[in-house]
Chains A and B, each alone.
Chain A
Amino acid sequence: MATQVSRSILFTHTRPQQGFRLLELTPELEELLTSKDAPALELKSPSTALAQAVIDPSAQDYVNLCTPTQTYRIRQVQSSNSIHILRPSNGEISKADIKVVEEEAGDEGTLNLPDEAVTTIAKCSSTLELHIPPGGFSAIPFLEKSLRLYDRRSDDDGDIAMDDSAASMDPLDAAAVRKIREGVWVDIPVSRAQCELGWMELCAFVDAGEEVGCWRPSARARLGVWRRLVEGAVLQGIDLEKQFLVGDLWKSVLDEDEAAEPPFPRALLEAVVRRICVVDERPALADEVKWASFDKVECAQWVGETYLAAIAPGASSAIGRSDFLRAWKDCLPEPWRGEAVLSKLTNGCYKSPDPTTIHFVEPSQREQNSKAAPTGPAAAAKAKNTRNWHELLKVRR
C-alpha cells in the first residue's frame, strides 16, 4: 500500500558535468567545519627542496590537510562504483526524451510523469580519505632543514668566531618577525600550531644581524646562552623560579662593555626563555615574552639534555657518566644541583655504550626505535578493524 502513495522522482543527467571532490571527514573536522566561525583549512605540500630533504618513507608526493592545530595526510581512494552528486532539478526535458522513462500518455491522455526531479551533476570515481600516521606530524624535521644553524660560541671569551654584528642594526618589529616566520612555515606541510610548537622546541629565532634570517641554535649555542643566563641571574640576584622580567635578565647577561655588542642576539635569549619557561605561563609565539619563570625540574632536564647533545652528540663522542653528571650539576644554579640525575632525563634520549659512558640520541633516532616495536600482532589487529582494503593488503604484504 505504501507503494501506492510513494512518489517517483525523475532522475536525469545534466551536461556539462561539474567538477567536485569528495572528502571524508573525521569527527573533529566535521565539528570544526560546521562550527559557527569555521576557519579556512589549508592543503599543504612541502616545497620541492623540502620534499627532497625530508623524505617521507610512506609517500613520495603527498598533500596534507591542515586545520589550525591538526594535520592529516590525504589519501585518494579509487572506487569501482560510480558516485554521483545529485541536486534537485525542474526536470526540463523534451517531450520526445520522456519516452525513455515513461509511456507517452496514459488512457486519460495525460502524461504519467513525475513532477519532481533530481539530476546528477557530477560523477566522482574516488574519495579523499584522511589519516594520521602513528608518529603524528611534526614541523621539526622540516624546520631543521629550512633554518640556518646558529653555532656561534658565546660562552668563552677567547672565541674568535664572535667577531661580527650579532648586534642588530635595527631591531625588527613584531609584525616583521611574524611575516618572516610565516614565510618559512608556508613550505612546511603541517598545521600552524605544530609549526609554532616545533619552532619553539628548537628555540628558533629571527635575527636581523648582517642579514635577516631565521636561525636554529645548535645545542652548543643553546648551552652557551643558558650558562650566560645563569651567571647573569646569579650576579643580579634574579630568582629564576619566580617571575622575572625578561628585559632584566637580558641586561644581567650583558657585561658592561657588551651593551653595544651583545654576545648573542636578544631574540635567541628570548627563544631559550620561551622554551624553558613554565608551560602554563608561556605566551603565544606572536606575543612577546615579557615575564617568565622557570620550573627547576623541567629546566634541569632541558639543560641536561642540551649539555649531552652539545658535548656527546653520538656514540663516537660518548663521555664518562660521572663527568657528565658533574658538568650538568655545574650548569645549574646552586639550589638545583640535586635535579641532575639520569632518571630525570627523557626516556630514550641517551644511550650507554658501556656502563661508564653516555651519549645523546637524536629525537629522530628515538622515534625509529619506538616505531619499530608495534608491528606484528598489534598492527594486524589494527588493520583488521579498518574497513579499508589498502591497509588490509599492506599488512599482509
Chain B
Amino acid sequence: MPSIKLHPSSASSTTKATNPQTPANPLPPLLQTPTGLAILELQGTINVPSSNEEENEMIDSPGSNPNIDPASVFETPIGKLMFPDYSVHNPDDTKWMKRAYLYVGRYQRMTGEVKKLPRPVAVLQRHQGEGDGEELEVVEIVRYKIFFKSRPEPVNNV
C-alpha cells in the first residue's frame, strides 16, 4: 500500500507526559512542551564513545523501536546546559533567550541562543498501527530551539 497514515498527537502520548514518573522539566517554560521534547541544534557533532555498532543504525532510522528494554538504556554525561540570563522571577522578559551556554566536559563551552523556529516543527515517530503496516504519529509540535552555532571555546571549570 503506497499510503502511510500520519496520526495527530494522540491522547496516549499526552498522558505519558503527565505520568508521575516523568522527571520535572528543568528547561525554561518557553522551551517546555507537553511531552517534554525539545530541540537542540549545534554546528558539529557530539562524539559519544560508542560501545557497540548499533549507534550508526539507530541514528536516522525512524523505525527504531521506542519501547526499548529499560535495563539496556544508559545515559552518558556530556556537560551542562545553562541559560545565564533566565530568571524565574521575570518569566515574561525574553531577553534571556539571547544567551545560552552548553558546556561540553569541564573545559569547553559553546555560546548560543534560544530561537523561535521560523515554522513550527512536528516531531514524528513510528506508531504501532492496527495490525499491518507502518504508521507515523506526531509526537510533539516544537516551536523553539536551543541553537549553538559557534565553535566551543576553552574555559576554566565553573
Q: Contact at B139–A20, with CB atoms within 8 Å?
A: yes
A3 and B125 contact, Cβ closer than 8 Å, known pairs A19-B61, A84-B39, A100-B105:
no
Contact partners of B4 in chain A: CB under 8 A: 42-44
* Distance in angstroms between the alpha carbons of A87 and B23 in the assembled complex: 9
* Distance in angstroms between the alpha carbons of A127 and B124 in the assembled complex: 11
* Distance in angstroms between the alpha carbons of A99 and B58 in the assembled complex: 27
As a 0/1 sequence over residues 60 to 79 of chain B, the CB contacts with chain A under 8 angstroms (1 = contact) are: 11111010100011111111
Q: Within residues 133 to 155 of chain A, which ones have a CB less than 8 A from any CB in chain B? A: none
- From B38, B85, B121, contact of A25 by CB (8 A): B121
Contact partners of B125 in chain A: CB under 8 A: 18-21
Q: Within residues 42 to 65 of chain A, which ones have a CB less than 8 A from any CB in chain B? A: 42-47, 65
Contact partners of A341 in chain B: CB under 8 A: none
Contact partners of B27 in chain A: CB under 8 A: 9, 86, 88, 118
As a 0/1 sequence over residues 68 to 112 of chain A, the CB contacts with chain B under 8 angstroms (1 = contact) are: 000000000001111111111111110001101111000000000
Asked if A120 lies at the interface with its beta carbon under 8 angstroms from chain B, I say yes
CB nearest to A2 among chain B residues: B85
A25 and B122 contact, Cβ closer than 8 Å, known pairs A11-B79, A88-B26, A88-B36:
yes
Asked if B80 lies at the interface with its beta carbon under 8 angstroms from chain A, I say yes
Contact partners of B63 in chain A: CB under 8 A: 19
Q: Contact at A93–B75, with CB atoms within 8 Å?
A: yes
* Distance in angstroms between the alpha carbons of A116 and B121 in the assembled complex: 26
Contact partners of A120 in chain B: CB under 8 A: 40, 46, 78
Count of residues in B whose CB is under 8 Å from the partner chain = 78
Contact partners of A80 in chain B: CB under 8 A: 43
Binding site for A on B (CB under 8 A): 1-9, 22-27, 35-46, 48, 51, 54-55, 58-64, 66, 68, 72-87, 96, 102-103, 105-106, 118-126, 136, 138-139, 141, 145, 149, 157-158
- From B5, B61, B139, contact of A40 by CB (8 A): B5
B152 CB to nearest A CB, Å:
13
- From A16, A21, A39, A189, contact of B54 by CB (8 A): A16
- From A11, A33, A387, contact of B141 by CB (8 A): A33
Asked if A17 lies at the interface with its beta carbon under 8 angstroms from chain B, I say yes
Q: Contact at A7–B26, with CB atoms within 8 Å?
A: yes
Q: Contact at A84–B40, with CB atoms within 8 Å?
A: yes
Q: Contact at B121–A23, with CB atoms within 8 Å?
A: yes
CB nearest to A122 among chain B residues: B59
A42 and B61 contact, Cβ closer than 8 Å, known pairs A9-B80, A13-B76, A15-B51:
no
Q: Contact at B45–A44, with CB atoms within 8 Å?
A: no
Contact partners of A119 in chain B: CB under 8 A: 75
* Distance in angstroms between the alpha carbons of A21 and B136 in the assembled complex: 10
* Distance in angstroms between the alpha carbons of A126 and B61 in the assembled complex: 12
Q: Contact at B121–A86, with CB atoms within 8 Å?
A: no
Top 3 closest pairs, chain A to chain B, by CB: A38-B8, A116-B26, A19-B64
* Distance in angstroms between the alpha carbons of A13 and B82 in the assembled complex: 16
Q: Contact at A20–B1, with CB atoms within 8 Å?
A: no
A387 and B118 contact, Cβ closer than 8 Å, known pairs A15-B76, A21-B124:
yes
A16 and B72 contact, Cβ closer than 8 Å, known pairs A5-B87, A33-B138, A81-B42:
yes
* Distance in angstroms between the alpha carbons of A340 and B69 in the assembled complex: 74
Contact partners of A65 in chain B: CB under 8 A: 6
Q: Contact at A81–B41, with CB atoms within 8 Å?
A: yes
- From A14, A20, A24, A88, contact of B119 by CB (8 A): A24
Q: Contact at A17–B59, with CB atoms within 8 Å?
A: yes
- From A33, A86, A118, A189, contact of B2 by CB (8 A): A189
A37 CB to nearest B CB, Å:
9
A83 and B39 contact, Cβ closer than 8 Å, known pairs A19-B126, A33-B141:
yes
A182 CB to nearest B CB, Å:
11
A19 and B62 contact, Cβ closer than 8 Å, known pairs A43-B4, A92-B75, A116-B26:
yes
- From A11, A20, A25, A125, contact of B77 by CB (8 A): A11
* Distance in angstroms between the alpha carbons of A40 and B122 in the assembled complex: 14
Q: Contact at B75–A83, with CB atoms within 8 Å?
A: no
CB nearest to B2 among chain A residues: A45
- From A17, A92, A189, contact of B64 by CB (8 A): A17
* Distance in angstroms between the alpha carbons of A117 and B4 in the assembled complex: 35
5 residue pairs of the A-B complex, CB under 8 angstroms, read A18-B125, A19-B125, A81-B42, A87-B36, A92-B75
Asked if A114 lies at the interface with its beta carbon under 8 angstroms from chain B, I say yes
